[in-house]
Chain A
Amino acid sequence: MAESALPILILLCFMGGAVAVVLATLRRPAAAWPITMVAIAAAFGFSLRLLATVLDGGAVRHRLGGWAAPIGIELVVDGLGAFVICVVTGIALLVGCYARWAVRREIPERESTFFAMVLVLLLGLSGIVLTGDLFNLYVFFEISSLAAYALIAVGDKRAVVASFRYLVLGTLGASFYLLGIGFLYTLTGTLNMADAATLLPELAANPTLRVSVAMIVTGVGLKMAIFPMQGWLADAYTHASTTTTAIVAPIMTKVSAYTLIRVLGFVYGFDLASGRLPIGTALAWLSAAGIVVGSVMALAQTDVKRMLAYSSVAQVSYIGLGIGLAQPWALVGAVLHVLNHATMKCCLFLVTGTVQLATGGRTLDDYAGLGRRMPWTFGAFTLAALAMIGIPPTGGFFSKWYLTVGALEAGAGGLVVVLVGSGLLTAGYMFRLLERVWARPAPEMVMRPVGAAAIAPIVVLGIAVVVFGVINTWFVTRVIMPSLPGGMGGGVG
């Protein structure tokens, strides 16, 4: 494995950015946004560089403190990690462009702290993706969660209650994760992921091992909002401020999903994790239940932001379903859905935020006729909505296609029914909204102007949804398949 300084450089961008924002804004409060953008842009540049490096020469690592793996902590990045870190920093860059406009309108007096907190959130999420150590992952888990609690609390009046509920459940999840790695540590004596993976097969019959898998899946599942632990998500996303939702919703649950892939696929191995205790099957069926519950709840909402929040529950469950099936095509679909759902959900939440700030409207009826007033914004919105339903050639179609193929290959006919049925439900609530946007007459009202800097990221995301669909085979063959766990990629052919 090659040594590379790129992983730590990404983390240093965010660390340095957060400290610089706090110190620089003591004198010049306006410096917060430019510093944040420089930090995120640099991190995005390093991420792309990292992806290119990994695609050329295979996985890279950085040994912190110069200590070799089980003694010290190392950062390890393979194709999947580089892919996810690019998604995280890319989405952050676009939301960052948008944030200046939104934050000035929503929370002007707390701008500097807000941006510092966003950098801390990104540090936590990137750390989760990059680290190769189980306990270090817990530390980054807590950094990102702490930042998310604070960011979610900045919102309307009820946001603080939503944030407190999230804090209690999130800490419970993190504690279960900690307990899981505690059991793992008492069995193997190591915390390094690769080292644990070599030691674990000897312990396959140990009951504690199964408990540790169950604990870790429960803990990460709580953060990922897998049914029946999805309760915190809808309130948190609905009441948080625009920028918070647009940055937390697309990437936070996805990073948890990636954690699950890594722990189940690379540390335990899917065979070991499912041995004698059907963790994978349970995860798949719970995710299926989550898809149904999320879609039905979304259909029942009139508040658009809340509707999208419930749809997030369903969409994240697609990823959970792919991981639970542990079948190569399903995993391809799950990883591809990380990218696609991040792109489209970010676009949709940015639009709801823009509408809320420009017109004050939140409900379905408030959206009537807005398509003609904001053609660019709602053009992108429509593309993202079509991707949510899964209409070709948008990215959403392909990830669901791979998931369906995976479910068929695994012989889980019931899950195929759920996948198709949920597409119909999604079509139900999305077309209900699109009909109001485009087919109703434009309202007579005064709208606050929306800056070009706020519209540009939305349009970019709308185009990206389609582009990612068109070039999906590149992602699948070049990025995802070569780095599936346990040589599964070879089995896809």
Chain B
Amino acid sequence: MRVPTLAVLLATLVVMLAAAPGLAPFGDPTAPASGHVAGHYLEHAYHDAHTPNVVTVMIADYRSFDTLGETMVVFAAGLACALMLLPRGRRGRVPRFLHRKVNLIAEVIVRIMLPAVQIFAFYVIFHGHYSPGGGFQGGALLAASILLGRIVLGRSRSQAAFPTALGRPLGAIGFAVFAGIGLVGFAAGGAFLQYDRMPFALPPDMLRNWGILGIELGVAMAVMGTLVSIFDDLSVGGR
């Protein structure tokens, strides 16, 4: 190991250990971080958005702008891969592991698994209000099912299920859905992403509930489209 590396490692170790005395002990329920804003979230989230999962309310309502930025990060990563690896390869010049002979056992198993994975993914998206999960996890599961198809079922069949050219536009549309839902309340005179100002005849907590579901769908579309497009760019792009 070279000297500068060792110096950085030692410096980090010393600094991190120097911070220890000011931190709350492990599992301390009275830690300062647990009061203040966190206490407010835990006590009001269900009342505010009619949604039991506090983390979902937090990322999709209280701090939804972070999530919008995060969706932009994913979308930007897709764009970045495209910028670096375009033009994508011509047909027939895909790497060997993507078009070797299809293995019958793998194919049968994957064909049984795929619908299950996709149904589970939709469950994760729509049930994110009540249980762990939401747009990111569901979108990533949908993308994973497509990737599984890409690897096992061969190029032509997996392209028929989800063409490569669809990936990035789907990402853009997902992001637009998210921002568009934010704009509805904004156009009605509220703040950006203020769901309870959306012009529907529902109580505020139900409006937020529906707003959260809408942006989860947008996130899922963006994540699914972008992850598939990143995979396609990495596997066949840039030759």
Contact = CB atoms under 8 A, between A and B. Distances in A.
B239 to A, nearest CB: 14
Nearest to B193: A65
A214 interface: yes
A19 B176 contact: yes
B201 interface: no
A123 B190 CA distance: 22
B197 interface: yes
B32 A150 contact: no
Contacts, number: 166
Contacts of A62: 191-192
Is chain B's binding surface mostly helix, strand, loop or mixed? helix
Interface stretch (B15-23, B93-101, B119-127, B128-136): B15-23
Contacts of A183: 19, 22-23
A72 B83 contact: no
A211 B21 CA distance: 11
Interface in B55-93: 61-66, 69-70, 72-73, 75-77, 79-80, 82-84, 86-87
Contacts of A140: 69
A187 B69 contact: no
A110 B186 CA distance: 35
Interface stretch (B34-42, B144-152, B153-161): B34-42
Interface in A121-179: 123, 127, 135-136, 139-140, 142-143, 146-147, 149-151, 153-154, 160
Given A15-B179, A72-B63, A211 B32 contact: no
Nearest to B178: A15
Interface stretch (A28-36, A83-91, A202-210, A381-389): A202-210
A373 B169 CA distance: 46
B202 interface: no
A146 B31 contact: no
Contact of B80 (A12, A66, A71, A146): A146
Given A73-B65, A109-B87, A215-B15, A22 B172 contact: yes
B114 interface: no
A209 B22 contact: yes
A23 B172 contact: yes
Contacts of B194: 64-66
B196 interface: yes
Given A65-B64, A71-B40, A139 B73 contact: yes
Nearest to A146: B76
A113 B84 CA distance: 10
A325 B73 CA distance: 35
Given A19-B176, A135-B66, A136-B65, A189 B82 contact: no
Given A16-B179, A117-B76, A211-B19, A190 B36 contact: yes
A427 interface: no
A70 interface: yes
A64 B69 contact: no
A185 interface: yes
Contact of B83 (A12, A65, A150, A212): A150
B150 to A, nearest CB: 22
Interface string B171-184: 11101100100010
A62 B169 CA distance: 30
Interface residues of B, number: 58
Contacts of A67: 61-62
B73 A70 contact: no
B113 interface: no
B175 A113 contact: no
A91 B196 CA distance: 38
Given A146-B77, A186-B24, A23 B173 contact: yes
A186 B63 contact: no
Contacts of B21: 207-208
A70 B31 CA distance: 18
A54 B141 CA distance: 46
Nearest to B44: A71
A71 B37 contact: yes
B66 A136 contact: yes
A64 B179 contact: no
A127 B70 CA distance: 12
A468 B116 CA distance: 64
A143 B77 CA distance: 9
Contacts of A71: 37, 40-41, 62
A18 B68 CA distance: 14
B33 interface: yes
A12 B65 contact: no
B32 A154 contact: no
Nearest to B41: A71
A188 interface: yes
Nearest to A163: B84
Residue of B70, B73, B171, B190 contacting most chain A CB atoms (<10 Å)? B73
Nearest to B15: A211
A397 interface: no
A72 B216 CA distance: 18
A189 B76 contact: no
A16 B34 CA distance: 37
A66 B190 CA distance: 7
Contacts of B20: 208
A311 B196 CA distance: 52
7 contacts: A62-B192, A65-B62, A71-B41, A120-B76, A127-B69, A136-B69, A147-B80
Given A19-B172, A150-B79, A207-B18, 17 more contacts: A18-B75, A22-B172, A62-B191, A64-B193, A65-B193, A66-B191, A66-B194, A70-B37, A109-B87, A113-B82, A117-B79, A120-B72, A143-B69, A147-B80, A150-B76, A153-B84, A211-B22
Interface of A: 5, 8, 12, 15-16, 18-19, 22-23, 26, 62-67, 70-73, 109-110, 113-114, 116-117, 120, 123, 127, 135-136, 139-140, 142-143, 146-147, 149-151, 153-154, 160, 183, 185-191, 206-212, 214-215
Going nearest first, the 5 A-B pairs with the smallest beta carbon separation are: A208-B22, A150-B80, A189-B36, A139-B69, A211-B19
